[in-house]
Amino acid sequence: MNTVKKGRRKMTVWIIIIFITILIWNFLPPSPGKMPLFYNNNGSIIPDSLSEKIYININGAEIGLLITGRDKTNPVLLFLGGGPGIPEYLLEYLYPSKLADEFVVCYLEYRGTSISYNSNMDADSLTTECYLSDVAAVTEYLKSRFAKEKIYLMGHSFGTFIGIQAAFEHPESYHAYIAVSQIADQAESERLAYQYMLDQYQQMNNLKMVKEFEKYPIATSDSAYEDYCLSSLRDKAMHDLGVGTTHNMKSVITGIFLPSLRCKVYTPLQRINIWRGKKLTAASPVGFDRMQFNAYVEVPCLEVPIYFFGGIHDYTCCYSLQKKYFSRIKAPLKGFYTFNYSAHSPLWEESDRAIEILVHDVLQGTNLLSDKQTQTVIK
């Protein structure tokens, strides 16, 4: 009898082990973390293509870069992603834009995040000044490596907070600055988004969500504002109402978190570190600065051409504020582009149009495809 019981227990243990293994295999599949390669019609790797994950040492820290391009002689684009903490290449992996067909694209994985994550790193050391210094160093690395006098600079969401300041500080390094969902006045954006979402739930008679929002009186309390911005309610509501990461993404869990655990461009440990880094940077000075940034005051003008991509459904960085800021900022050449089917990620939601703009306007130094009412040259 004891032998039978022991056999059953052993079988139960093995069933549990197999079940856990299957779960891990499905949700965190093994991978060496290699970048996808570029192949021609014959199935051979394109000779002048680039597809690599590298590290460069900046002020004692190993900073990760993902560099990809079909042709290494193409213009170079430094891409500053969102978050901070969510690697921008993840969106490119999930919703390919073919950006690397036109540029050599370098995705900077910020200090303390993703493949640049280090468990010994102090959150207090992650300052805006530190991030700007890292961007300047990576820019110089790319200019030297690819023998370019200037490169292009693109930012998305949080990346626009860093990117527009980098372009302001070092205009000599960039052909143009491209903003995807530009942060203008994030405190005002959060208030507008809060009121919009509360109004929507009131109109829907969703009393449960109305009560949740009323727990955070952000218009009258600074502490409530900070708590709300760090709460799960904000992301949940934005995605529920189609004004978050994409217009069609209904949950950050199913749209970002779970796909990130299966993204084989990163090793299993690197995928876990994405979320460890996200937590670290949430409590960092640069994360706080982003939420208080007022571009009207900090960057009233730029000395390089600027191109703004705005999703009309975006309330993560309110579309109306993007347009308002764009109308005020001075630059040698300006182009604002409204994406009518997008929320916060127009580059991936309407990628064909975004690439067309990049090829025919940005690379040509014109703004012919921009919204007519904002097609402006300031002399």
| Rounded CA separation 51/39 (Å) | 11
Q: Which amino acid is at 45?
A: I
Confidence of residue 9 (pLDDT cuts 50, 70, 90): low
53, 30 in Cβ contact below 8 A? no
Instruction: Compute CA distances 88 → 4, 66, 158, 247, 309, whole Å.
Output: 54, 10, 11, 18, 16
What does the block give as tokens for 79?
A: 């891409």
DSSP secondary structure letters along 37-106 = P-B-TTSPBPTT-EEEEEEEEETTEEEEEEEEES-TTSPEEEEE-STTSS-HHHHHHHS---GGGTSEEE
End-to-end CA distance of the chain: 93
In this prediction the pTM is: 0.89
Q: Which of the four pLDDT bands, split at 50, 70 and 90, describes residue 378?
A: very low
Cis peptide before 75 (omega within 30 of 0): no
| Interval 126-153: pLDDT, tens | 999 999 999 999 999 999 999 999 999 9
- Domains (range + CATH), the chain: 31-379 (3.40.50.1820)
pLDDT of 177-217, one tens digit each? 999 999 999 889 999 999 999 999 999 999 999 999 999 99
State the Cα–Cα distance between residues 23 and 243, nearest whole angstrom: 32
Selected residue with higher pLDDT from 135 and 4: 135
Parallel, antiparallel or unpaired: strands 61-69 and 50-58: antiparallel
pLDDT band at 25 (very low <50, low <70, confident <90, very high): very low
Strand ranges (E), 233-376: 306-311, 334-339
Those residues whose C-beta lies under 8 Å from the C-beta of residue 227, and which sit 6 or more positions away, are 216
